């Protein structure tokens, strides 16, 4: 049982996009005891929920906290052992044994005798930190005890805290942008659901009910607001349920998990076929009957059950949209993503119902129900169908099967949106469509938009970048012709031009023709040979933001020139499911007793241990001694900001 808990704990080392977990901060100070004796004080500030282990732990337990002082320096002697506070002795949930650890704050003291005039003493501390569900890899932190300049040291520590807090603020802002995008998409999806044949006709029925039941206009407004709030509560509760079932760690893993992506593909295909009219997805009729009975009770409870009845009755139209939103929000990796998505969707759905119920006179401005409602439903079906292949593409990329390469993916999308254009122009009719005597201006405009998008995608079959949809299809390197038209997969041109001189282990990232290595050692050796710095690119086949960087930022002239001429690019795919070559299997440092089986596991663990991050994309500029030339960076869609970061690292290398 202990091993299972340990495996689960260590497997759940998860990070929100761009976030680096660093739950322990160390500050050093000194305490003068006499003219020749000092206490070297190391104080650890520990974030809420995490704990730091003692210097003494049981066998087969965690890595103990260990202090090492540089005894190669003359002029001082260590007296006794490093003292520590009492701490807590508890049954540790991660390791399944009684262990002493510290929470919130821990202080360690080491007594030394200084034999001659000395300004500082250096050393380091190695430690492991865990919470109730996960542990970080063992970390080493350098310590400097300034005997005569303790105040300077404290100021530097505060400065580092300010820098760290600034980085965390940027990470929070980036996450908030993602949540805002989910909210906006969900909000407009709610309006789309409102215009379906299962929901739109419910508006006058609902208004009629409130008009008859409300004794005054004020009561009508009050009941309408309660009704709208009830709709929001029902859908937000659904989002909370999804977040609670999956949890943060599972949601973070969705985008690269093969089985999740295949399940989502099948689910969206079912939703799409339902919207196209093959069948309807409905909840058991008994549910609606029971809820309707409760709605007759009146009062706030009755109004709430009326809102629940709306959700159940309209499920055949709203269910596929809600399901798609939950899938997209969950795959985004944020635990509150599904909640934010359901908030946006329910607000868009609730506001019109509440407003029309409060002001029934507005009903006269509504268009009449008709065949156009089914048209909206069919259009949503085509969109669901297109989105489904994105999830199938993710699974194909992770497994590297090359079944759904870029050209095949684009051909499918071209076919889907081309057929949609023909449908909107009235050239194709489905089973539930009303006879079409004319085409409205709105339908014609949407048809033109669909046809334009179809034509836009066609050049992508021959290597055009398609920046508008760069996050959806596979990258241009995952292609039948990865080097563009006229080049084979080996890099040889059919027009007698070739990419000769490509070193062993490198490949070209078409159509940019950036030379990149997928092997760390070969890339580093080549960088030493040509005297250039290394750009480590921690990426993933199913990483949306990685594709955005490669398609929207890297092709810019200034960036492309640097990537081609001034650095050696090493792209390490953390979701590469190909097995490690025979003989290269290795013991996991994060999961003792387990072996790394896949190439992606090797690079993911390498990134986690060395950089304490596992979000992608993640970029590191380093020299030939594998030292950072500047602080690593993550997703940076701002071209100027990314250029400045590259230039800073290159200038540091030249110095």
Tens digits of residue pLDDT in 110-147? 998 887 666 688 888 988 787 765 566 557 788 888 87
Residues 299-316: tens digit of each pLDDT: 677 778 777 877 777 776
Q: And the tokens for 128?
A: 């492991």
CB 183 within 8 A of CB 340: yes
Question: For the residues 202-228, what does the mean pLDDT come to?
Answer: 73
pLDDT higher than 90, residue 409: yes
* Cα atoms in the 13 Å half-sphere on the side-chain side of 194: 21
Bridge-based pairing of strands 568-573 and 534-539 is parallel
Instruction: Please give the CATH superfamily to which domain 2-169 belongs.
Output: Thiol:disulfide interchange protein DsbD, N-terminal domain (2.60.40.1250)
- From the list 203, 219, 230, 211, the residue with the least C-alpha distance to 306 is 230
Tell me how far CA of residue 161 lies from CA of 2, 155, 166, 388, 565, in angstroms: 36, 10, 9, 44, 37
Cα 167–chain centre separation: 18
Percent of the chain at pLDDT > 70 equals 74
Question: How far is it, in rounded angstroms, from Cα 649 to Cα 534?
Answer: 10
CB 210 within 8 A of CB 367: no
The DSSP call for residue 499 is -
Give Dmax (Cα) for the chain.
Answer: 102
Question: How far is it, in rounded angstroms, from Cα 6 to Cα 96?
Answer: 8
- The least confident of 434-438, 481-485, 633-637 is 481-485
pLDDT higher than 70, residue 19: no
Which helix (H) or strand (E) segment is 264 a member of?
helix 258-275
Tokens 């179809």, located at residue:
454
pLDDT higher than 90, residue 645: yes
Beta bridge partners of 368: none
Question: How far is it, in rounded angstroms, from Cα 211 to Cα 641?
Answer: 57
Question: For the residues 222-243, what does the mean pLDDT come to?
Answer: 82
pLDDT higher than 80, residue 451: yes
Which helix (H) or strand (E) segment is 418 a member of?
helix 406-424
Residues 150-207: tens digit of each pLDDT: 444 444 454 455 445 544 554 555 555 567 777 888 888 887 877 777 777 777 777 7
Q: How confident is the model at residue 287 (pLDDT cuts 50, 70, 90)?
A: low
- From the list 382, 386, 379, 344, the residue with the least C-alpha distance to 191 is 344
Residue range 506-654 in CATH 2.40.37.10: no
Amino acid 155: pLDDT = 44
Cβ contacts of 460 within 8 Å, gap of 6 or more? 406, 410, 466, 473
Structural domain spans, the chain: 2-169, 184-369, 506-654
Q: How many residues does the chain have?
A: 655
Percent of the chain at pLDDT > 90 equals 15
* Nearest-10 Cα torsion for 234, 240, 245, 246: 130
Report the predicted TM-score, pTM, of the whole model to 2 decimal places.
0.49
Query: Burial, 499: exposed, middle or buried (Cβ in 10 Å; 0-12, 13-18, 19+)?
Result: middle
Cβ contacts of 76 within 8 Å, gap of 6 or more? 112, 113, 114, 115, 118, 121
């Amino acid at each position: 049982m202990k091993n299972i808990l340990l495996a689960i704990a260590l497997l759940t080392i998860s990070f929100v996009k761009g976030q680096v977990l660093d739950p322990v901060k160390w500050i050093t100070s000194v305490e003068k005891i006499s003219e020749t004796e000092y206490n070297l004080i190391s104080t650890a500030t520990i974030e809420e929920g995490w704990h730091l282990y003692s210097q003494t732990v049981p066998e087969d337990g965690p890595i103990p906290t260990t202090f090492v002082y540089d005894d190669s320096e003359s002029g001082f002697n260590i007296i006794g052992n490093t003292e520590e506070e009492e701490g807590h002795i508890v049954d540790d949930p991660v390791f399944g044994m009684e262990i002493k650890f510290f929470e919130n704050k821990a202080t360690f003291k080491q007594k030394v005798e200084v034999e001659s005039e000395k300004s500082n003493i250096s050393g380091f501390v190695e430690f492991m930190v865990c919470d109730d569900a996960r542990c970080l890899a063992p970390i080493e932190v350098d310590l400097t005890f300034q005997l005569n300049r303790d105040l300077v040291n404290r100021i530097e520590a505060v400065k580092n805290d300010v820098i760290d807090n600034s980085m965390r603020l940027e990470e929070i802002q980036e996450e908030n942008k993602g949540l805002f995008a989910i909210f906006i998409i969900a909000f407009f999806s709610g309006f789309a659901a409102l215009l379906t044949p299962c929901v739109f006709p419910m508006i006058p029925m609902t208004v009629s009910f409130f008009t008859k039941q409300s004794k005054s206009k004020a009561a009508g407004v009050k009941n309408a607001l309660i009704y709208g709030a009830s709709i929001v509560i029902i859908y937000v509760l659904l989002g909370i349920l999804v977040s609670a079932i999956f949890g943060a760690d599972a949601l973070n893993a969705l985008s690269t998990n093969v089985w999740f992506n295949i399940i989502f593909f099948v689910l969206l295909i079912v939703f799409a076929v339902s919207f196209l009219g093959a069948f309807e997805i409905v909840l058991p009729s008994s549910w609606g009957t029971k809820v309707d009975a409760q709605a007759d009770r009146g009062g706030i409870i009755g109004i709430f059950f009326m809102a629940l009845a709306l959700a159940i009755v309209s499920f055949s139209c709203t269910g596929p949209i809600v399901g798609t939103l939950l899938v997209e929000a969950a795959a985004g990796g944020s635990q509150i993503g599904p909640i934010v998505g359901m908030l946006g969707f329910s607000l868009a759905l609730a506001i019109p119902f509440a407003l029309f119920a409060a002001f029934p006179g507005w009903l006269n401005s509504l268009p009449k129900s008709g065949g156009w409602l089914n048209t909206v439903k069919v259009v949503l079906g085509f969109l669901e169908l297109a989105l489904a292949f994105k999830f199938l593409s993710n699974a194909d990329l992770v497994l590297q099967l090359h079944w759904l390469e870029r050209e095949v993916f684009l051909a499918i999308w071209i076919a889907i949106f081309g057929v949609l254009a023909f449908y909107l122009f009235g050239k194709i009719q489905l089973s539930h469509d009303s006879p079409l005597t004319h085409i409205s201006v709105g339908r014609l405009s949407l048809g033109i938009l669909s046809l334009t998008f179809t034509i836009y995608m066609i050049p992508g079959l021959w290597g055009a970048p398609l920046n508008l949809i760069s996050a959806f299809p596979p990258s241009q390197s995952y292609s039948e012709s990865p080097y563009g038209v006229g080049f084979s997969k080996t890099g040889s041109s059919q027009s007698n031009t070739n990419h000769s001189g490509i070193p062993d282990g490198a490949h070209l990232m078409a159509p940019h023709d950036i030379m990149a290595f997928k092997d760390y050692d070969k890339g580093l050796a080549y960088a030493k040979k040509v005297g250039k710095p290394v750009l480590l690119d921690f990426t993933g086949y199913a990483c949306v933001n990685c594709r955005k960087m490669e398609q929207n930022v890297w092709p810019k002239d200034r960036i492309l020139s640097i990537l081609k001429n001034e650095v050696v690019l090493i792209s390490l795919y953390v979701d590469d499911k190909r097995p490690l070559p025979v003989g290269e299997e290795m013991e996991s440092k994060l999961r003792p007793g387990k072996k790394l089986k896949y190439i992606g596991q090797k690079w993911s663990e390498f990134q986690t241990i060395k950089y304490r991050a596992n979000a992608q994309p993640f970029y590191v500029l380093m020299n030939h001694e594998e030292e950072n030339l500047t602080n690593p960076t993550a997703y940076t869609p701002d071209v100027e900001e990314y250029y400045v970061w590259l230039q800073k690292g290159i200038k540091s290398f030249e110095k």
